[in-house]
Amino acid sequence: MFRFGIIAGALGLGLMACTLPQMTYVEALAFCQDKADAAAGPQGVVGLGVGTGGTNASLSISLSDSYLRGDDPQVVYETCMNELSQNGQISGVSE
């Protein structure tokens, strides 16, 4: 009986790990907009700092696979929203 409890508990934890993350409608809009922005072109961040140890600078540039494939940002956005809706990942009422 004890062994069954351990197996059932482990199976339950395994299934919980496979569930898709939930997000609100507003979070889904922002998530998909970020994906569309990444498909529109390279994204970059520039940093400059001054401290007691001197100055430092950083530069980061990222290219999404959607951009490299030449995907239309509007199509990327619509596909993202459709996938999230169909997978049941959007919780709450749409606005």
Look at residue 90 and tell me whether its pLDDT is greater than 60: yes
Q: Which of 80, 61, 62, 84 is nearest to 72 (CA)?
A: 80
* Domain residue limits at 75: 21-91
Tell me phi and psi for residue 7, to 5 degrees.
-65, -45
Q: Is residue 12 part of a domain?
A: no
Q: Is residue 9 part of a domain?
A: no
Q: Is residue 1 part of a domain?
A: no
pLDDT at 4: 52
Q: Is residue 55 part of a domain?
A: yes
Q: Is residue 56 part of a domain?
A: yes
Residue 63: helix, strand or coil by DSSP? coil
For the stretch 11-69, pLDDT in tens is: 555 545 566 788 999 999 999 999 999 999 999 999 999 999 899 999 999 999 999 99
CA 70 to mean position of chain CA atoms: 20
Q: Is residue 48 part of a domain?
A: yes
Looking at the structure of the chain, the number of domains it has is 1
